[in-house]
Amino acid sequence: MSTGAVRAPRSTGAYAAGGPRSRSSGRAGWLLLVLAAAGLLVVAVAFAGARTGATWADPLFWTGLLVIVVPIGFRLLGPDAGRGERLGLVVVLGLTLYAVKVLHSPLWFTNHDELGQYRTTDDILVTGHLLSVNPVVGAYAKYPGLESATAALARLTGLGIFPSGLVVVGLARLVLSVALFAFVERVARSARVAGIAALVYTANPNFLFFDAQYAYESLGIALAAATLWTTVAARGEEDDRRGPALGALILAAGTIVTHHVTSYALAVTLVIWALTDLVRRRRARRPVAWALPLVALGTVVGVVAWAFVAGSSTQGELGPVVRGAFSAVFDVLRGTGQSKQPFSTPPGFADPPLERVVGLTSVGLLLVTLPFGLLAVVRERRRHAALLVLGLAALAYPATLALRLTTAGTETSNRASEFVFVGLGAALGLAVLRWLAPRWQRRRGVRPMAGRGLLAAVAGLLFVGGLIVGWAPYARLPGRYEPAAAARSVEAEGVLDARWAGTFLPRRAVILSDATNDLLYAAYGGLDPQGGQIFGRSAFEVFLAPRFGKGERAILSALKVRYLVVDRRLSLALPRTGRYFGTSDPRAGQYQEPLEPQLLAKFDHVPALDRVFSSGDVIVYDARRVLAR
Amino acid sequence: MSGSPRRLPLALALLGVVCAVLVLVLDAGQPVRAVAGVPLVLALPGTALSFCLWPHGRVNGAERTALSAGLSLALAALTTLALHAVGIALGTSSWAIALGGESLVAGLVATARAPGATPPHPGRRFRLLPVVLAVLAAGLVGGAGVVTGISASDQRDSVHFSQLWALHGPAGTLRLGVRNLEGSTQRYVVRAQRDGVGLRVWRDVVLSDGATWTTTWGPRAGSGKVLVTLNRAAFGPSVYRHVDVNVP
């Protein structure tokens, strides 16, 4: 009889956990499921309060999250749970936290990436073809894995894009939870380490919201984790490696057509792992296992091949971000650039001091414990060749923090966290098992329990701190409408107006508008928002100029803008995001006062502009007479 | 449970075909089609393939579920790409046939690869407590859903407004429209004028909440913009919305 391809590995020594069922195995897991559900209910009540502006919503939100995370963390840290219970708890944790995101925005997509990817999904359903042009981010259309699966589900079931997208991303979260656990378990040969790694992974700043949104990375990272899991399974298989290896290649191909950065990270991981494995086997005079090099080679070839299909869109999206990040860091190091204050906010807004303390403490805790994790990886490196790769990922954590010292590098740092935390989780899991578990095992009574309790509380603090570091305060809870406040700006009037445009305006007509309506009209209206620089000026000067003159006409003509979408509510408050308009907003981060209402009302007095639509707050102007001149 | 491990892959193959046929013959919007469509995209191709690649008994239940989901999602993406690459339009029939076909082929191969009879699993003793706790958890999650549904719907429905539009139609006509999103039935008056001279009035435009009124109208030729105003009868003569367009 063969060994199980993806079956639980043998746990040994101090790492033995998850083997035989423990005394309380099962009952505790079910109780924790109830507790997690109760935490979710608390979060739902907090969100309901936030929608009416209640001040108690914020503390209740954090309480609900801690009720979900800390008890499960306590159980995962301890030795009592069986392997099945640990896996179950990791799945419960992952899916409950996904449910938090769903409860945050239960009616429609509200985030930038979600609305941009909605557009590509809609394009697939409308045109029946892939690889169209996405006006929000070009790469969305060139990496259509998520949109393809969603469009197929929406078409075959008759469900809308929104519910279909929620189901697809929810399923991806399930895959991620199981795959991450199973991969680390194989590599560390301990279900306990795997459980702790999954717990630490939830503390990555993107776990709760960013990687739960309807966006290509949410699916890409799940497929990449499944690729690593099936690869490690194929490598360990003794009688038939073909099946798992083929499965790994299919999952890698799915990753490649779904998300660029994840596929690059996957390829690099597999190559380093394969080379490490090769060296180790040569030293030990063992035969080369072909499954791992095959999957690594296949992934690299696939990534390169797909880069040709995606063309310049990937470079267009990633190039400026990465170049900007690194040049900003070098500028700071050379003393020619300005470093960024942590927790810097646009004028008029400030983060609560307590949040800053918690955020910085969580980062500090990770930095302090990282050396112990790395030491544990070094000590245990003989367990598996992939441990070294996980150690390198963990080692990258301080480097990603350095990127946060600049404004341009913050996004790169944030995006790197979902990869870095895989290694960080495994390393810290090994450290706990190596340094703390033996002490707990030797002692009886209250002290080991207190130690685990303290560590579970630390896990809760890391989770809360990660969320504080990675997600803006105004975006964490739903709430009343605010202009230029990301998800808080997406509400019924804007959505229904954009849907009107989808029914009555010509598809792919070019519009010029603010950041929120750009996304809404692209997603629900099928229109193409325009922006950027033209004639040395930002296109959004059209809105900011005191009068609509020749220069503004020239901008509209040059950009072929057919419709101006003007949201009068922009004059109600300062922009939470620091800018009212797209990335080329000329006054980004400098707004001291809300926009003057006259700036937005000036279009009423332009004879060449037809005011063709009004819902009260949102006005649409037809600029075809401007284009005809 | 004892028995042949070949039954499940074979059942998956047949189920794939049944689901594909149901999706093809039933109209969109029918609940049965939704019930058939979900596994056709998210479960059957990947599960059948997982039995191909990891024959019966090599993976436990939770891992099989995750593998099946991951493979199904990857296959949905790659299948769509393959259809696009060979120039087949993406739609109900192409997706249903392709995904149903994959389930059938993978299921049949898995059936052929499946080992003979496996030893019976020891039966699990029924325990009441997990069932009670699972029901309790489901109730709490359901409660979270209800709280969210009520609060989010209330917030959405608290926004009341009406849409008015006037778009250029063919041959100098205007396509006028009003949509009532006030949360209750409204009686509107729509007026068109140019340079202060009334051109046309539409009285008694009565719309229930969510309803839309549209008409196509050809104003007389003239210079200056045509101003279209919307009044709510209950609020007197004050203009509620207005649009204005150049009509040659």
pLDDT digits over B8-60, tens only?
Answer: 889 999 999 999 999 999 988 889 999 999 999 999 999 999 999 988 667 78
Which residues of chain B have a CB within 8 Å of the CB of A97? none
The token pair at A321 is: 């971000």
Which residues of chain B have a CB within 8 Å of the CB of A493? 159, 161
pLDDT at A347: 66
pLDDT at A17: 45
Mutation target among A47, A95, A156, A180 for the B interface, most CBs of B within 10 A: A156
The token pair at A82 is: 């069986």
pLDDT digits over A190-206, tens only?
Answer: 999 999 999 999 999 99
CB atoms within 10 A of CB A570: 24
Which residues of chain A have a CB within 8 Å of the CB of B71? 247, 250-251
**Is A37–B90 a contact, with Cβ atoms under 8 angstroms apart?**
no
> d(Cα A182, Cα A194) in Å, to the nearest integer?
7
**Is pLDDT of A36 > 80?**
yes
DSSP string, A233-276: HHHH-SS--HHHHHHHHHHHHHHHTT-HHHHHHHHHHHHHHHHH
Q: Which of A128, A175, A622 sits opposite B70 (nearest CB)?
A: A175
pLDDT digits over A13-23, tens only?
Answer: 444 444 444 54
Name which of A52-61, A556-565, B121-130, B210-219 the model is least confident about.
B121-130
Q: Full-prediction pTM beyond 0.90?
A: yes
pLDDT at A5: 38
The token pair at A250 is: 């299919």
Helices assigned H by DSSP within B86-162 = 92-113, 128-157
Confidence of residue A238 (pLDDT cuts 50, 70, 90): low
Q: Which of B66, B76, B80 sits opposite A178 (nearest CB)?
A: B66
- Of the candidates A315, A327, A516, A488, which has an alpha carbon nearest to the alpha carbon of residue A407? A327
Q: Which of A6, A47, A616 sits opposite B241 (nearest CB)?
A: A616
Average pLDDT over residues A551-579: 95
Q: Are A519 and A609 in contact (CB under 8 A)?
A: no
**How big is the CA angle at A626 (ends A624 and A628), to the nearest 5 degrees?**
70
Sites in chain B below the pLDDT cut of 50: 1-2
**Is B177–A258 a contact, with Cβ atoms under 8 angstroms apart?**
no
Confidence of residue A235 (pLDDT cuts 50, 70, 90): low
**How big is the CA angle at A89 (ends A198 and B40), to the nearest 5 degrees?**
90
**Is A251–B71 a contact, with Cβ atoms under 8 angstroms apart?**
yes
CB atoms within 10 A of CB A402: 14
Percent of all residues in chain A with a pLDDT value above 70, rounded to a whole number: 88
**Is B62–A84 a contact, with Cβ atoms under 8 angstroms apart?**
yes
Confidence of residue A510 (pLDDT cuts 50, 70, 90): very high
Residues 6+ apart with CB under 8 A from A490: A105, A108, A109, A110, A115, A516, A519, A520
pLDDT at A337: 61
Q: Are B81 and B12 in contact (CB under 8 A)?
A: no
Is B40 or A471 the better-scoring residue by pLDDT? B40
Residues 6+ apart with CB under 8 A from A433: A14, A15, A17, A190, A192, A193, A196, A376
Name which of A341-350, A368-377, A575-584, A588-597 the model is least confident about.
A341-350
Half-sphere exposure of A338 toward its Cβ, with a 13 Å CA cutoff? 4
pLDDT at B115: 75
Displacement of CA B156 from its chain's centroid (Å): 19
pLDDT at A383: 83
Q: Are A488 and A474 in contact (CB under 8 A)?
A: yes
Confidence of residue A25 (pLDDT cuts 50, 70, 90): low
> d(Cα B9, Cα B44) in Å, to the nearest integer?
10
pLDDT at A291: 87
Q: Are A517 and A499 in contact (CB under 8 A)?
A: no
The strand pair at B161-168 and B197-207 is best described as: unpaired
The token pair at B198 is: 């009334």
**Is A156–B37 a contact, with Cβ atoms under 8 angstroms apart?**
yes
Query: Nearest CA to CA, how far is B190 from chain A (Å)?
Result: 14
**Is B147–A27 a contact, with Cβ atoms under 8 angstroms apart?**
no
Is A394 or A6 the better-scoring residue by pLDDT? A394
Confidence of residue A336 (pLDDT cuts 50, 70, 90): low
- Of the candidates A119, A155, A171, which has an alpha carbon nearest to the alpha carbon of residue B80? A155
Longest dimension (CA), chain B: 91
**Is pLDDT of A561 > 60?**
yes
Nearest residue in A to B167, CA atom: A612
Query: Nearest CA to CA, how far is B44 from chain A (Å)?
Result: 13
Mutation target among B18, B41, B86, B127 for the A interface, most CBs of A within 10 A: B41
pLDDT at B76: 98
Task: Please give the single-letter amino acid code of residue A212.
Answer: A
Per DSSP, the three-state class of B206 is strand
pLDDT digits over A416-438, tens only?
Answer: 898 999 999 999 999 998 888 87
> d(Cα A29, Cα A85) in Å, to the nearest integer?
6
> d(Cα A564, Cα B148) in Å, to the nearest integer?
35
Mutation target among B24, B27, B53, B124 for the A interface, most CBs of A within 10 A: B53
Average pLDDT over residues A271-292: 88
Confidence of residue A10 (pLDDT cuts 50, 70, 90): very low
